[in-house]
Structure 1
């Protein structure tokens, strides 16, 4: 496990310069999609200024399990950010936000389409003051189209994108993946868009642009052969539980003390798998030499594997399959991850100190760059903790800041 990260500190001595050092990001989103994108950019050196509503701030501060009154999820989602509490519904708050955006490289927002325009922050207005600005807009259905104005959350995007229909056992209710995967996929697509736009701006004359990410489109982009199969064959892919339809064998199999995932779908891997479970007859069967033949007899193959795993413990199965060079793994819980030596060896478990002085185990940084790696430079801020410092950087005087505070525009 990596050493503890201080609550707020500059980049540690000896750490290589980060890829996005010097990039200023203003984050105006809340909850998951926009802020996850901001977190991703912040992990790689961007200076992320998060604008939150005065009062309660980002609702994520109170989501799921709380420690000292604050969500532990917040500690991950908002590391490497500075918090400015600002009333964007007030004209003075909007003007203050425009001043911050005028000095930024990137603006992230995930409000309902049209909200920026209502606040006098339409892209053309922001570009007039800051031509190089990159504006990332994440919404349920995008900034155009007939569904543009409908309310959209990640779960709806997962359904419309085609994912939710497949996440079920055949004939049973579609279930959610277990995390907010629609929001996260949109955030990652947004981060890719920002990086592409930054590259284009640097290489082609300094112009900014608008990035339009819809939640359902980000999900749909990951749906593999779903539409080509429908187009070519009229095939509507249906739920298949833990199996991978059309690829065999690849499934979850019961053990005496849990489940294992086994991916034996390579031709040579399949032969090694069958030898390992004592079924060389299947491994040498000419009909099962390629994936097409195995798919036709997948029920028989799954039954053979399941009969073998059911007589053994998970550790026994994994040891035997590792020796046979067959991809397999246990179904990890949070405890499994926290105690796993491979996670620890690759710095995927960091001990981060909160602003209240508590130490908290948090996920590490992905991806891993050899020359400009990511780093946790500071832990998640308290609401409005950086308001004064950021406004001073934007050119406001102490008198102006005091006036805004007296009027309830900032906190």
Structure 2
């Protein structure tokens, strides 16, 4: 079956999460992703997270659809082989600190000379220029610096990090998006270009109405827990046997919600006639809603409210979500056989293409397993193979 990026060659110099997530997305779309790792232990994620039969399922999930090559890029011979790969690649992805690639001998001028059609994608913390460009970056720190933590948590509690490594993932997603756009632009210009995705920029682009309201008013948003910062009622509510999440985001949906609870009349109350008034008197309105919800349990309220056209759901843990019939129907949990390790389950493909769907083609590779194969496929000269510090493990 054809894939969207069939024939695209990607040299992947990334490790940990943001870069491997980006190149996983490209591999899922059919690109030939060659993961270049250092001798020794390679990507640290090979040894992180829960392991089954000696295999990190964290590594297996983010490095599927890739082949592994081991090169010692501190040695001239290893850098020579990398130059040979880059001369034939369509895309280079790296997540070093800004300037490290140039220090290795691959500055923009060298890359342009090697391959003017090469798309060079860099993932970093703060961007390649500016006063913070040289700072080391990690998801937790970027969550703090960006303002993201400041709006998470309850009003009287400390700022709260996301349970997900959200800034890494957003940066990887934007990098993949930028790469695909640069490849499309190459059809028109005949040239590659540089793509940059910074963790700080990426997460700040997700602030939506929080940023818009600050830019309009000069007032920073405050933490409001599970309540919506600009709409009421909206959040978690208490039924007879547990909480449910309800999102009445428009006046029409709010009326459906209150009608189902036999509370539509409260909209005549002067405290609740507009959204601004409801925001000011949120606690009073929530108390009325919670009292009505005590008449039935979670499952019945979720069924009744969704049938009435009110977005509503259970608060599920990850295990419940990954077992949810809708999630399973959408194939968001997939299984792949790993030689020597048995079947490995991982998250599926969030983007569904009707004619050229994403595919599971290769399991995450053993360290250096494809070194000789890749260099032969990419026509790196046999004489070079004999003199480099390339290893297969």
Q: Is the 8 A contact 2:12 2:34 kept in 1?
A: yes
Q: Secondary structure at the match of 2:189?
A: coil
For residues 161 and 57 of structure 2, the distance between their equivalents in structure 1, rounded to whole angstroms, comes to 22
Q: Secondary structure at the match of 1:254?
A: strand
Q: Secondary structure at the match of 1:211?
A: strand
Equivalent residues, number = 393
Structure 1 residue 76 displacement after superposition = 1.1
Match of 1:85 in 2: 70
Counterparts in 2 of 1:361 and 1:240: CA distance versus 1, 3 Å? same
Match of 2:16 in 1: 31
Q: Secondary structure at the match of 2:73?
A: coil
Match of 1:6 in 2: none
Match of 1:139 in 2: 124
Structure 1 residue 249 displacement after superposition = 1.7
For residues 379 and 410 of structure 1, the distance between their equivalents in structure 2, rounded to whole angstroms, comes to 17
Indicate yes or no: 2:285 matched with 1:274.
Answer: no
Structure 1 residue 368 displacement after superposition = 0.8
Indicate yes or no: 2:325 matched with 1:341.
Answer: yes
Structure 1 residue 276 displacement after superposition = 1.6
For residues 91 and 241 of structure 2, the distance between their equivalents in structure 1, rounded to whole angstroms, comes to 49
Alignment of 1:191-340 (within 5 A): 191-202=176-187, 204-283=188-267, 285=269, 288=272, 290-310=274-294, 312-340=296-324
Counterparts in 2 of 1:313 and 1:85: CA distance versus 1, 3 Å? farther
Q: Secondary structure at the match of 2:34?
A: strand
Structure 1 residue 402 displacement after superposition = 4.3
Counterparts in 2 of 1:236 and 1:338: CA distance versus 1, 3 Å? closer
Q: Is the 8 A contact 2:47 2:56 kept in 1?
A: yes
Aligned-pair Cα RMSD in Å? 1.9
Encode CA deviations 1:215-264: one digit per residue, 9 max, x unaligned: 11101111113344333322111111111111122111234544311001
Q: What TM-score do the two structures reach when normalised by structure 1?
A: 0.90
Q: Is the 8 A contact 2:371 2:391 kept in 1?
A: no
Q: Any stretches of 5+ residues in structure 1 without a counterpart?
A: 1-14
Match of 1:153 in 2: 138
Structure 1 residue 122 displacement after superposition = 1.0
Indicate yes or no: 2:375 matched with 1:391.
Answer: yes
Alignment of 1:6-85 (within 5 A): 15=1, 17-85=2-70
For residues 265 and 205 of structure 1, the distance between their equivalents in structure 2, rounded to whole angstroms, comes to 44
Encode CA deviations 1:194-229: one digit per residue, 9 max, x unaligned: 111111111x22111111221111011111133443
Q: Is the 8 A contact 2:53 2:341 kept in 1?
A: no
Structure 1 residue 335 displacement after superposition = 2.2
For residues 26 and 408 of structure 1, the distance between their equivalents in structure 2, rounded to whole angstroms, comes to 15
Structure 1 residue 352 displacement after superposition = 1.5
Q: Any stretches of 5+ residues in structure 2 without a counterpart?
A: none
Q: Is the 8 A contact 1:258 1:313 kept in 2?
A: yes
Q: What TM-score do the two structures reach when normalised by structure 2?
A: 0.94
Match of 2:350 in 1: 366
Encode CA deviations 1:319-345: one digit per residue, 9 max, x unaligned: 121222210111222221232111122
Q: Is the 8 A contact 1:135 1:211 kept in 2?
A: yes
Q: Is the 8 A contact 1:157 1:215 kept in 2?
A: yes
For residues 39 and 222 of structure 1, the distance between their equivalents in structure 2, rounded to whole angstroms, comes to 22
